C-alpha cells in the first residue's frame, strides 16, 4: 500500500510542477552529478559569452597591472584573443 500511495503522490507532484526542474533528490533518473554537470555547463557558457563581449585590450591591461600577470602567462592570454584583437 505504501508503494501505491508514494507512486500516486510522486505522479501528482510531477504533473503539477511542484518540484523544480533541477531538483535531483528523490527523483528517479536524476542525480546530484547530473545537476552539477548542468551548473558547470551553465558557468562555462556564461564565461564564453562574457569573454565575447569584454574589451580585450582593457582586460589584458587589467590582468597585467591589477593581477601581476606578465611575460609568458600574459603572452599566452594574448594569443587566446589573437583572432579578436
The model's pLDDT over 17-63, given as tens digits with 9 standing for 90+, comes to 777 766 666 666 777 787 788 889 999 899 888 877 888 899 899 99
15 — pLDDT class (breaks 50, 70, 90): confident
74 — pLDDT class (breaks 50, 70, 90): very high
For residue 33 the three cell numbers come to: 552529478
Residue ranges per structural domain of the chain:
1-53, 54-85
The Cα 25–Cα 44 span in angstroms is 24
| H-helix segments, the chain | 2-15, 32-53, 56-65, 71-80
What is the reported pTM?
0.44
What is the reported pLDDT for 42?
92
What is the reported pLDDT for 1?
84
Amino acid at each position: 500500500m505504501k508503494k501505491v500511495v508514494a507512486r500516486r503522490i510522486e505522479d501528482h507532484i510531477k504533473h503539477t510542477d511542484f518540484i523544480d526542474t533541477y531538483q535531483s533528490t528523490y527523483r528517479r533518473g536524476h542525480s546530484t552529478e547530473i545537476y552539477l554537470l548542468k551548473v558547470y555547463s551553465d558557468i562555462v557558457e556564461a564565461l564564453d559569452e562574457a569573454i565575447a563581449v569584454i574589451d580585450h585590450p582593457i582586460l589584458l591591461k587589467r590582468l597585467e597591472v591589477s593581477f601581476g600577470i606578465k611575460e609568458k602567462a600574459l603572452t599566452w592570454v594574448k594569443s587566446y584573443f589573437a583572432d579578436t584583437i
